[in-house]
Structure formats: C-alpha cells, structure tokens
Structure 1
Amino acid sequence: MFTIEPLVVAYGPHREKSRFTYMHNAGVPVDVPYVAWLVRGQGFAALVDVGCSADNYNEHIRPVDRELVHVGQVFADVVDVKPIESHLRERGMKPSDIDVTILTHLDWDHCMTMEPFGGSEILVQRQEWQQTPSHEMFATSYAPAEHYQRIEDMGLTQLDGDYQIADGFDLLLTPGHTHGGQSAVVTTSEGTYVIAGMCVLKENFYPSEEEAEHFKVIPPGGHTDLFQAYEQMVRLKELGGDNVLPLHMTEAFDMGRIGSLAD
C-alpha cells in the first residue's frame, strides 16, 4: 500500500478555464495549482512531477520584457505557495529521500523544479522525450532546451510504454495531451487512485450531468491528438472510478493525504 499527498508548489492565477476543458467554460478564470505528488510506501518515496516556482518561471519561462503570451492568453505571473523542500521538511524528509521522480510530461509547469532531485531515478517516456517540443504551436508550453539538457545530465531513464515501479504502483503510457504522457496508478488503503498525466481539472473526468449526456469525459484543451486524449481519459476513469486525480485539480489546494502511512 502507498500514500499520496499533493504538494502545491505554486499556482497560475486566472488561467482561461477552456484551456483545460476543451470547448467548455470560455472566459471563465481558474487558479491552477502546480503540484508535485508525493507517493510513499514499501520503503521508498517518489514524486510524480515537481511543479514550477515563481523564480523558475521568471528566470526561464517569462520573456524578459513582457508577460508571457500562451495560446492566445496573456499570462499573469506564477505565484509561489510553498517551496517543495519545505513541503518535504514538514514531513521529516529532504530531497535526497526521494528515490524516484516521475515526469508525466514535459510542459514547463511540471518539470522545472528538478535540481533538488538529480540524485533520484528520473522516469520519462521515450516517446515524450524524443518529441519535445511537439510542435511550434506549443512552443510556449515548454522550457528552454538547456533545461531539458540539465535533466538529461542528471541521468534519465526513458521508458517504452507501461512500467511497474513496485507492486501497487504502476505507470501507464497515456498519450493524447502530449505525444508520450504517462499516468500513475497507485494502490492505497482507501482504494486505487490514478494520477492522470494530462493538464486537466476534475471537471474533465467528471462532467456535469448535462454534459455527461453527450460524452464520458471532456478532453484537455491542449492536445496532440484529441480522440486519443479522450480514449486515454476514458481508460483512466475506468481504472480509477471516482478516484482520478488530475494534475491541476483545484481541490489539491486543500486536499490532505490519501491512505495511511501505517499500511
């Protein structure tokens, strides 16, 4: 058994909600958390994504002379919540206690805070690594090339599809949002949970009653393959049921630990 805890590092204020919920909620602002998901159990600890701090954003992502314009929206700057090292310290941990760092995909808001975890095993899908950046339309979704080079220099393990980290902790190749995204399936004392490796919200997996008359899930607004993203989300929902954890779920701001450390 494992536990899962969302460590909210920072957030992006007033993001356009339809960027996450394809063709829904145009003009609706949402504060989007940047989360590192801490998974512990069976004598080791892992992070699923590492988030992005305000300093990371200002130094590496935001243009020097203006605000970032991303997919037609002028971005308000990233706001810090709590450094990832402080989150770990509150749990009696330090960065060197992280054995595995999983990058669900390589958008900048998921992989910028990598430096403290260079000593861990870093897992990314080969398909994702080799096709980043995926297209000029998504240029502002990615960090500068030198950041990915730093990650590679840390010692990177490239996966070719589904992969078991431990009994009850599996990675699934789930493309569609990006070419080689991956998601984590984690067994806890409260049931099986899925950390969905796409830039989506709870509403994407659990549409309103009216929306659900037409489709099972709402695919991400940003995607390399709309239908593939939809199919992979349906797959994850079938695995996780009510226990799907989207990467940008606003509930992460207030969510506690899932599962018991005693298990």
Structure 2
Amino acid sequence: MSHYTIHPIVLGTKVFDKGMMTYQHGYGTPFTIPIYAWLIKGASKNILVDTGEAHPVVSEDRERAIGGKIYTFEEGLAKHGLKPEDIDIVLHTHLHSDHCENDYKCTNAKFYVHEKELHNIHNPHPLDFRYLEDHIEEIEANGQIVVLKTDIEILPGIRMVRTPAHTRGGMSVIVDTAVGSFMICGFCTILENLYPPAEVKAMEMEVIPPGTNTNAKKAYNILVRAKTMADYLLPLHEPKYAAVEQIPANIEEAAIKREAVAVPS
C-alpha cells in the first residue's frame, strides 16, 4: 500500500461572518479562514490539491487569527524545495477563484477538474461570483486540463470522488497514509461543519451544511456520507491546520476520527 503525507500551505485568508461557513449557524460572529494548497508527498510526482490565492493579504492580525504563517505561492512551495514549474499534478476540489489563482504558474502540470466546474466557470450564474474564467484560460489554452466525469484513481492510494455539496462539480481527494485514509474535503467547511457543537446535535443534526451550497438538504447528506468515506477528514478551510507542517503527525490535533453515523437516504 502507498503511504503518503499531506502538507497544508496557507496561501491566503478570508475575513467574514462565520455564517458564510456554517449554514444557519454562527451569523454575526467575525471569522477568519485560511486558504490552502495541500502538497502530497510520497509519490514519484509532485502533487498539489488546489493552488490558492495569487496575491494573499499578509498581516499580523490575519496570521494571529489562523494561528499560522501566510505565504505567497512561491514561498510556500520553496519551503518544500519546489518551484511552480516543478508541480506535475494539480487536483482541483473546485474552481472558485481562491482555489485556482496560481494555476497559470504551474506550466508543466496536468490539472484534474470535474466537467461541471468547467461549465460553471465559463457560464456562471449571477450568484456564482466566485468563478472567474481568467484564472484557467491559460492552462485551458495549453491543453493542461484533464476533464473528469466520474470518480478516479490518480495514483495508487490517491483518488478523487465527487462530493457536490458546495459546488456542482466539487471533488474530494482521499489520500492513504501510514495511519489510515484522509479526505481533503472538496466542500468549503471547517471542523464545526462535520462535528457540530452540542447545541446543534441537540437539534438532531449530525452535520452543518456549508454556508454556500448547491442544495442545503443534499449538502447535509453529502457531509454525513463523507464521514464514512475515510478514516480522517480535513475540512478545506479549518484554521487548525495553519500551523501543521505534516499530516499525519499530531493527528489528534490535526483531524478528528470519523464517527459511526447513519447515512440519510
């Protein structure tokens, strides 16, 4: 079995109302989320999940809020001895701008993207203001995009599965490690979405859908199902990983063991 490691790299932040993450909960609470690229090590190729923001705001306040350092794309890769042109594969969870702004810098990479994300970025609904096709025009023109229609194994022990809770073409990435499988969730959430506080559980809710979702009830069901698909879950914007250099390592601090839950029909 292939055993990989996952390395979160903070490539930006957003400061907004917490309810943008936790549907129907947390409104009025200021919240800062990190924007990550996730470097997967252990393969013969250099693999990233998403590419983050091109021009991140770097400030002491924001770094204090997430508990970690914010990097430019080049700085974040340099920590691992890499340059943008060294990236061989980019696995896109989705194509909202904060997940793909550095794509054009990865001149030698193949980009794995679900077909519904490509449709959405070229034909966005007015509500889908997070899509901006400028970010992928160059890699598209260069023939660097691999269009996905189904779940796929990228390499032994690394697979992409469709989880359209946040966007119609959202893909999660499941990575096998020495201690079990980790899912880099393809929907924009924090740990609280997947493991709600007691007051939410008291309402007989197992999860909280993403604040931005394709359909709240369907998103709820997808999040519940996701908790059965891997041993550990890594929500896409959880601040707890901003100071984590490698996963698995200090797993109890970096992720939460899946719970046995019923999957709604």
TM-score grouping bracket, smaller chain normalisation? 0.7 to 0.9
Whether contact under 8 Å (2:90, 2:111) holds in the other structure is yes
Residue 134 (structure 2) aligns with = 146
What are the ranges of 5 or more consecutive residues in structure 1 without an aligned counterpart?
Answer: 57-79
Which residue in the other structure is 1:64 paired with? none
Pick aligned residue for 1:178 from 167, 175, 183? 167
Alpha-carbon offset, residue 134 of structure 1: 4.0
Identity across matched positions, percent: 33
Matches within 5 A, 1:71-82: 81-82=70-71
**Map of 1:137 onto structure 2:** 127
Q: Deviations over 1:83-127 (max 9, x none)?
A: 122222222222232211011111111111112213111010012
1:5 equivalenced with 2:11 (yes/no): no
Structure 1 residues 134 and 226, CA gap change in structure 2 (3 angstroms): farther
In the alignment, residue 27 of structure 1 is paired with which amino acid? Answer: G
What is the root-mean-square deviation of aligned Cα atoms in Å? 1.8
User: 1:258 — aligned with what?
Assistant: 247
* Distance change in 2, residues 1:42/1:203 (3 Å): same
What is the 5 A alignment of 1:203-214? 203-213=192-202, 214=204
- What's the counterpart of residue 220 of structure 2? 230
Structure 2: gaps (5+ residues): 58-68, 250-265
Q: Does 1:16 pair with 2:14?
A: no
What whole-Å deviation, never above 9, does each CA across 1:17-73 have from its counterpart, x for those lacking one? 1011000000111111110011111322211011103369xxxxxxxxxxxxxxxxx
Task: Give the structure-2-normalised TM-score.
Answer: 0.82
TM-score, scaled to structure 1? 0.83
- Determine the C-alpha separation between the residues in 2 that align with 1:121 and 1:191: 27
Alpha-carbon displacement from aligned partner over 1:155-210 (angstroms, at most 9, x marks no partner): 21110120101111100011131111000000111221000011111110111123
Match of 1:88 in 2: 77
Alignment partners' CA distance in 2, 1:146 and 1:45? 25
The AA in structure 2 aligned to 1:194 is M
Q: Match for residue 43 of structure 2?
A: 42
SS at match of 1:4: strand
Q: Find the aligned partners of 1:217 and 1:9 in 2 and give their Cα distance.
A: 27
Partner of 2:258: none
Q: Given that residues 5 and 257 in structure 1 are in contact (C-alpha distance below 8 angstroms), is that contact kept between their aligned partners in structure 2?
A: yes
Tell me the amino acid that sits aligned with residue 8 of structure 1.
V
Matched residue, 2:108: 119
Deviation at 1:218, TM superposition (A): 0.6
Residues 118, 232 of structure 1: CA spacing in aligned structure 2 closer, same or farther, 3 A cutoff? farther
Matched pairs, number: 233
Answer yes or no: is the 8 Å Cα contact 2:191–2:235 preserved in 1. yes
Q: Which has the higher contact order (CA 8 A, sep 6+)?
A: 1
Match of 2:30 in 1: 29
Q: Separation in 2 of the partners of 1:8 and 1:40? A: 17
Mapped contact 2:124–2:131 kept (Cα < 8 A)? no
User: How far does residue 135 in structure 1 lie from its aligned partner after superposition?
Assistant: 1.8
Q: 2:84, 2:107 within 8 Å by CA — same for their partners in 1?
A: no
Q: Partner of 2:160: helix, strand, or coil?
A: strand
Once residues 138 and 205 of structure 2 are traced to their aligned partners in structure 1, the CA distance between those partners, rounded to angstroms, is: 41
Matches of 2:179 and 2:214, distance apart in 1:
34
Q: Kindly state the Cα deviation for residue 224 of structure 1 after the two structures are TM-superposed.
A: 1.6
